Structure 1
C-alpha cells in the first residue's frame, strides 16, 4: 500500500498537479492503449482508466471527466467553506439558500432514498456525525439525552424545498451528501469519458466504482473485495459494465472506551 501511494505521489509530481487543472496521464503497465490518471477529489483518492488512441487523447478525455468531479466537489463538499452545502449548513435554518441544479438533484434523490429505506439513509444525519466525532475525541459515549437532543435536528422531512432554494425547518440542522456525492461524481465522470470517445474503462472514487465497456473482448471486470477479519479466502466479483460499491465496519471504524463502533450511524436511533 505504501509503495502504491508513493508511486502515485511521484507520478503526480512528475506529470503535474490535477488540483492546478493539469491532468497527469500514463499508460497502464502491460496494457497497450489503456491509460490512467490518479488524483484526490471529494476528500478521497480517485483513479480513472480508459482506452484511448494515444496519451494526448487520454488527457483530453480525463480532463473533461476530472472537471465534472471537481464541479461536484466545489458544490457539495463539507470540507470547503465556500461550497453550496457548507453555505446551506451555515445559514439554512435562517433562510432558504439558492442551490445549483446539480446540488438540488442530489438532495432530491437523497430524500427519495430516505423514503425508500424508511429513514435508514438520511443526509440530515450530519449532527449525529458531529456528536460521535466529539465522543471519540473525549473517549466518552454520549448519553441518551444528548442523542435525543441531536435527533431533534435530524430527518429528511425537515428539509424545506422552495423551487431552487432549500432551507431547514429547525435550528441545528446540517446535511452531508457524502453518501451520494461520490457516486454522482463517478456517474458524471463516466458519462464525460464516454462522450469524449472512450469505449471502455472505469472510474474509482474512494471505492465507488463504475465500469463501462469490457476490459477485453469476451471478458468481464474483476473487482477484489477486502475480506473481513477471520476470513482467509479472497473474494472477487466478476461483473459486466455496472457500478459497484461496498462499505464495512471492518474497514472504517472507531473506538470509544472499550466499544468498537462502525462509522455507519443509524439516523433513526443515533447509534
Structure 2
C-alpha cells in the first residue's frame, strides 16, 4: 500500500469536490457516542440520502447501547458487574467484538487492552482531578488489567472477567467499529459512495460523483485552514490518535486519556499517530496501541501486517512505515 502525503501535517480534514448532475452529495453532522460524527453520502436524490443517513445514525445508536460501559442495562455493563462472579451470556455481535479485541491485544503484546477501563477510577478526564494518583492507587488499578483474564466460551457465547473489579471498555475501538457497521448498512442500502468520519476514525467507499477519489487533506501545523497536501482514500479507512487530543495537566505536563496498560500511567508528549487499513475498527485500535508502544515497536509491528500503514509525528519529526512515501511538495 503506497501513500503519498506531505511531510508537514498536524490534522486530517475532509474535503468533498464538485459532483455530477446525476447525483447529489448530502452531508450531516451530529453527536453520537459522545463524539462528533460527520456523514457524507452520494445518492440519487437528497430525500433518500437523508433517510439513509438517519438509518446509519440508528445503527450507531444501537451499537452504542450494546457496548456502552456507562449504561447499566447494556451487555457490556452486565459483564463488568459480574467480574469475578460468573460468566455472562452475550449476543454473538458483542462476543465477536471482544474476541477480535483480544486478538489485537495479542498482536500488540498487550499495548491495546480493553481491560484498561479498570483504571477509570484512578485517572479521570472530566476535570474533577486535583492531584496525581498515588503509586498504590495506580498499582491497584494495574492489578485488574489483563486481556488474558477475559475468558470466552465459544460454545455458550459467554464472557467472564476472572478478577473482581475488572472492567472492559471499547473506547479505543468502538468508534471505528461503529463507523464500519454504519458503512456496511449504507452499502447494503445501495448508497453508491460516501464517507463516515467518526471524530477522526474515517472510512470510505465508492468515489465522488465525478469519479474522483475521496481525499484527505493534510493541514499545515502553523495554519490549520491551509491544506499542504492531499491523500486519496479509496475503499479504505484511516484513524488518527494523539496524546494531546484529550488530556489533563499537572505541573505543566500533559497526561492524555490513553492509558498505558503496563504502567497504569497515561501517555504524554506531543505525539500523533495515523493508521491506514481496510477497516476503521483496526485503524482505531492500532492507533491507540502504537501510542503506547512507541514509534520503533509500533512501526515494526505495522511493517509486518499486510495492508496496513502508519505515520507517527513526534513534535515536528515524521516517522513512517515502509509502504509510505513522503511527498515534500504541497
TM-score of the two chains, using structure 1 as the length reference: 0.81
Task: Report the counterpart of residue 147 of structure 1 in structure 2.
Answer: 138
**Aligned partner (choices 237, 252, 258) of residue 258 of structure 1:** 252
Distance 2:125 2:212 in 1: 48
Paired residues of 2:68 and 2:77 also in contact (CA < 8 A): yes
**Aligned partner (choices 211, 215, 218) of residue 208 of structure 2:** 215
Paired residues of 2:17 and 2:208 also in contact (CA < 8 A): no
Q: How far off is 1:30 after superposition?
A: 6.4
Task: Report the counterpart of residue 170 of structure 1 in structure 2.
Answer: 163
Structure 2 counterpart SS, 1:131: coil
Q: How far off is 1:46 after superposition?
A: 1.2
Aligned residues: 244
Range moving further from structure 2, 257-266 or 73-82: 257-266
**Aligned partner (choices 221, 234, 240) of residue 246 of structure 1:** 240
Distance 1:239 1:246 in 2: 14
Matches within 5 A, 1:1-271: 31=19, 33-133=24-124, 137-162=128-153, 163-225=156-218, 234=228, 236-271=230-265
Distance 2:64 2:183 in 1: 16
- The higher relative CO (CA closer than 8 Å, separation ≥ 6) is in 2
Q: How far off is 1:185 after superposition?
A: 0.9
Distance 1:29 1:218 in 2: 10
User: Residues 220 and 263 (structure 1 numbering): CA distance in 2 closer, same or farther, change over 3 Å?
Assistant: same
Structure 2 counterpart SS, 1:210: strand
User: Residues 93 and 134 (structure 1 numbering): CA distance in 2 closer, same or farther, change over 3 Å?
Assistant: farther
User: Residues 226 and 100 (structure 1 numbering): CA distance in 2 closer, same or farther, change over 3 Å?
Assistant: farther
User: Residues 237 and 54 (structure 1 numbering): CA distance in 2 closer, same or farther, change over 3 Å?
Assistant: same
Paired residues of 2:125 and 2:248 also in contact (CA < 8 A): no
TM-score of the two chains, using structure 2 as the length reference: 0.67
Paired residues of 1:135 and 1:142 also in contact (CA < 8 A): no
Structure 2 counterpart SS, 1:201: strand
Distance 2:45 2:53 in 1: 12
Structure 1: tracts of 5 or more residues without a match: 1-27
**1:237-260: CA deviation from partner (whole Å, max 9, x where unpaired):** 332221011011232221134332
Q: How far off is 1:230 after superposition?
A: 10
Distance 1:251 1:224 in 2: 19
User: Residues 134 and 146 (structure 1 numbering): CA distance in 2 closer, same or farther, change over 3 Å?
Assistant: farther
Paired residues of 1:106 and 1:181 also in contact (CA < 8 A): no
More strand by share: 2
Paired residues of 2:30 and 2:36 also in contact (CA < 8 A): yes
Structure 2: tracts of 5 or more residues without a match: 1-15, 266-330
Range moving further from structure 2, 176-185 or 78-87: 78-87
